[in-house]
Amino acid sequence: MAQKRVVGNWKLNGSLAANEALLGALGAVAGVDVAVCVPFPYLAQAAARLRGVALGAQTVSEFQSGAYTGEVSAEMLADLGCRYAIVGHSERRTLFGEDDATVGRKAAAALRAGLMPIVCVGESLAEREAGRVAEVIGRQLDTVLAVIGAPALARVTVAYEPVWAIGTGRAASAQEAQAVHAGIRRWLGERGGAAAAAACVLYGGSVKADNAASLFAMPDIDGGLIGGASLAARDFMSICQAANGA
């Protein structure tokens, strides 16, 4: 079973002043890899303030360097002390036009720089209601695999984030999430063998202090990717503690 991991995704939130208090209240939790993915301008601040908590970015350029105005490369993120880069978050897919192939190239860019990509997958409500969950997630994962290759799967974290659960207060039930996670675990094993089957599979979407323990108790849920609740230190740390107990 993979080590438990809890990753905060601050999204487009924060200020130098507000971050000081939040970062100062985060800390290591025994038995859990804790990380926060902060906006690019605050990576240096977070790197200086965090103790026992890893750092990540919320997206990354597929390009390494050159004439790509506004882009931030994986090498730059590594330079700033990042361990993770989220790729393919549903907000990037729907609001910023990232398709499966782009997500694959971003994952490859992260791996090239020694970062661990957190590859987000998940279905919309319409896709769930049409019974297409496995097909949609299989397509999203297959496209990433085609770019990064099977041996790299063991160095990837997958985050299952059903779009209908993100920011809605309506988390997937532990059983609903477990069913999808088991499918992702199977896919990892079939494509990448035992090492890939041991990769970390996170759940994201309305994880709160009061539902984290039941989600993390599921055999194929290795932790969470936390949006709103990662902005309140006490909530985020309770979610990390729930992972410790699971």
- The residues of the shown chain that bind ligand 13P, judged by CB under 6 A, are 9, 89, 161, 166-167, 204-207, 225-229
Per-residue b or e along 24-58, where b marks 16 or more CB atoms closer than 10 Å to that residue's CB: eebeebeebbbbbbbbeebbeebeebbeebbbbbb
CA dihedral for 26, 28, 34, 35, sign (positive or negative): positive
By beta-carbon distance, which residue lies closest to ligand 13P? 227
Q: Which residue number, 161 or 220, has a Cβ lying nearer to ligand 13P?
A: 161
> Cβ(65)–Cβ(73) under 8 Å?
yes
Residues 225 and 160: their CA atoms lie apart, in Å, by 9
Complex with ligand 13P: residue 160 or 187, whichever CB lies closer? 160
Cβ 80 to ligand 13P, closest distance in Å?
Answer: 20
CB of 186 to ligand 13P, least distance (A): 23
Q: Are 123 and 163 in contact (CB under 8 A)?
A: yes
Least distance from ligand 13P to the Cβ atom of residue 136, Å: 17
Residue of 37, 78, 36, 33 whose CA lies nearest to 59: 37
Identify which of residues 33 and 161 has a Cβ nearer to ligand 13P in the complex: 161
Q: Is the Cβ–Cβ distance between 70 and 49 less than 8 Å?
A: no
> Minimum distance between the CB of residue 67 and ligand 13P, rounded to whole angstroms?
30
DSSP annotation of 157 reads: E
Residues annotated catalytic, as ranges? 89, 161
Q: Among residues 98 and 197, whose Cβ is nearest to ligand 13P? A: 98
